[in-house]
A and B are shown apart, each in its own frame.
Chain A
Amino acid sequence: MPDGAAPVLDVQNLKTVFRVRGGEVHAVNSVSFDLRPGELLGVVGESGSGKSVTMMSLLGLLPSPPAEVREGTVMLGDRNLLTMGAEDMRNVRGGEVGFVFQDPMTSLNPVFNVGFQIMEPLRVHMGLTRRKARDRAVELLEIVGIPDARRRLKDYPHQFSGGMRQRVMIAIALACDPKVLIADEPTTALDVTIQAQILELVKDLRQKLGMAIIWITHDLGVIAGIADRVLVMYGGQVAEQGPVRELFANPAHPYTRALLQTMPKLHGTRDDKLRVIEGQPPMLGAHPTACPFRDRCPHAMEICARENPQRRPLGGNHDVACHWDHREAAL
């Protein structure tokens, strides 16, 4: 590792398979990445690219069957989450690792007031008394910018707006001072002006609390504004990984390049036509023996059908899983 610090989370070779009628779906294929203290890692990919399933696998949140985490290690500090017992795992979830889900409406329980839901992890994981938990809950709601926090503890989720609900979710995830916060499309269901509020909040919280964050999104714009490092996923695999500026300036994988080009710009000249990525995302029916992007790739070669490319370093902590040499063509 270039910058010495030991990773807080180190995922190696993770493989998750869903058993379905008549076969298997290989949703996550040999995914490896690490997360360093205080870092914000952005994970980008389309639906079906395996980004959410990867994160759910880490925390044992997938129902099994049909899901099966078949291979890999997930080291949180010096413990492997995949071999951990159910009881220990429960202590990790909501304790050392916080999770924020996409839809703040469905991930809060409508029949409990938000105070109860924030206090729950505090009492379970930290063994706080009711009174102490309540004080901490007020403090948390203030941290995430909910006005009049003490009174609002008694309110139910439906009494909050979408943006406010997502703030409550973040408060719950932060309750036990997690080392790692995993946020799965936390702003996708929100309007842009509300999204901007949440992004500002997260930037602010990072500085104050110094935790490491994994931020899953399909929006490259969000990633550009918030991430230190980016993991691009496609077809259940890591296509490219690198520091955010390097990756946006010199994208090496044809998929990353295409993604950047299909997005219309808010400034500058207007293109006559949007560049498109032809075709459809791959079906993940079998263990991949070829590059999953080859059917849509403008640079596909004969080897791409024979061999699934391994990730190869490009220097500066930037790597790509592609047979094609991106230096052959400018953007």
Chain B
Amino acid sequence: MKDIPAPSSAPNPAPDTARKLVEVRDLKMHFPIYGGILRRQIGAVKAVDGVSFDIFEGETLGIVGESGCGKSTCGRAVLRLYEATAGSITIDGTDIATLSQEALRKRRPAMQMVFQDPQASLNPRMTVAGIIGEPLDEHTNWNRAKKLERIYELMDAVGLNRDFANRYPHAFSGGQRQRIGIARALALNPKFIVCDEPIAALDVSIQAQVVNLLEELQEQFGLTYMFISHDLSMVRHIADRVAVMYLGVIVELAPVQDLYDHPQHPYTEALLSAVPEPDPSAEVRKDRIVLRGDVPSPSNPPKGCNFCTRCPKVMDICREIAPETLEVRPGHFAACHLHTHDQTAG
């Protein structure tokens, strides 16, 4: 996939003056596979295979896709929790892909992460105050009183009762644990937060609470989110722009309304039509596109377009040449031969 040029027109709500906070270019994340007696590298899982996108200050970029499409890997690589195989990641003007560990550490406060599983991402032997305060221990030389004051402030901000500061994670419900994880991410006043499936492990009634909290905090602190999720309805609610990933590449990227109303890639169409809607009468009318088969292995992606094995509109060219990403509508990018074909034909 080629570079996605910066959208020329303004993506919806971000004004023309909006500054790019995150700029990712041709990011690749391949995990080697070793085999044979000599444990030589015999292949690679191409989890992320050349993605490019921008995130503007104050916006939420949603990343959607099915499991194994590389969305979480992409989120982690953007924060350099993995050493990317290739590509550049510029956050707030600094290319963090090539930064030394020492220099990277100094940038860490500006970029934080909220993890999927609040059970696994909180140390069960640390108190809530210890968990939320740990980034402060690492990155500030504040005294105890000042740290505690900040911890209380953060607990207030995420709606946790201050009295619970000395309790352990097991004493909290899933939704409350996710609030602890969010407070920890906020501790150092970050600009950019990667939210990796922050609500996937929560019940429906609790999901809404956490999403509303994330939105309030974004408004209050001017945060920029990369919101990774497989829940298309929730992404529609929270995101300003959405990128759809399939097998390690972004197949479509567009302002949220445009993407949901006028999907330009057959995969996005199928994905949207597969979401069951809580309305029995709508469900009856719906002509669902049911994709056949499963996602191919990212260690052995098909030749040509990654989606050619399941695409209902597949053409001969799709099995030969990978499509380029084109701006098919203002600010709306898609990587599909249907669009190149339309252009040459029309």
Contact = CB atoms under 8 A, between A and B. Distances in A.
Chains A and B are bound partners: yes
Interface of A: 46-47, 161, 163-164, 191-197, 199-200, 218-225, 244-245, 248, 258-260, 262-267, 270-271, 273-278, 280-281
A260 B203 contact: no
Contacts, number: 118
A164 B294 contact: yes
B275 A277 contact: no
Interface stretch (B183-191, B227-235, B332-340): B227-235
9 contacts: A192-B275, A196-B288, A218-B203, A221-B275, A221-B276, A223-B278, A224-B282, A266-B275, A270-B257
Central interface residue in A260, A273, A274, by most chain B CB within 10 Å: A274
Given A46-B203, A220-B278, A248-B278, A270 B237 contact: yes
Q: Which 4 A-B pairs have the closest CB atoms?
A: A221-B276, A264-B237, A191-B66, A196-B274
Interface string B252-296: 000011001000000000111111111111110000101110100
Given A196-B274, A263-B233, A248 B279 contact: yes
A258 B207 CA distance: 13
Contacts of B205: 46, 258-259, 262, 276-277, 281
B281 A192 contact: no
Contacts of A274: 208, 211-212, 237
Contacts of B274: 192-193, 195-196
Given A195-B274, A264-B234, A277 B208 contact: yes
A248 B270 CA distance: 25
Interface of B: 66-67, 173, 175, 203-209, 211-212, 215, 230, 232-234, 236-237, 256-257, 260, 270-283, 288, 290-292, 294
A225 B276 contact: yes
Contacts of A222: 276
Contacts of A225: 276-277, 280, 283
Central interface residue in A47, A164, A221, A264, by most chain B CB within 10 Å: A264
A262 B204 contact: yes
B204 A266 contact: no
Describe B's contact surface by its main secondary structure.
helix
A264 B236 contact: yes
B290 A191 contact: no
Nearest to B276: A221
A266 B67 contact: no
Given A192-B230, A258-B205, A259-B205, A248 B280 contact: yes
Contacts of A278: 209
A218 B204 contact: yes
B280 A244 contact: yes
A283 to B, nearest CB: 10
Contacts of B272: 266
Contacts of A46: 203-205
Contacts of B276: 195-196, 199, 219, 221-222, 224-225
Nearest to B232: A266
Contacts of A265: 233, 236, 277
A200 B237 contact: no
Nearest to A247: B280
Given A266-B260, A281-B203, 15 more contacts: A46-B203, A161-B294, A193-B66, A195-B276, A196-B290, A199-B276, A219-B276, A224-B282, A245-B280, A262-B207, A263-B204, A271-B237, A276-B208, A280-B173, A281-B205
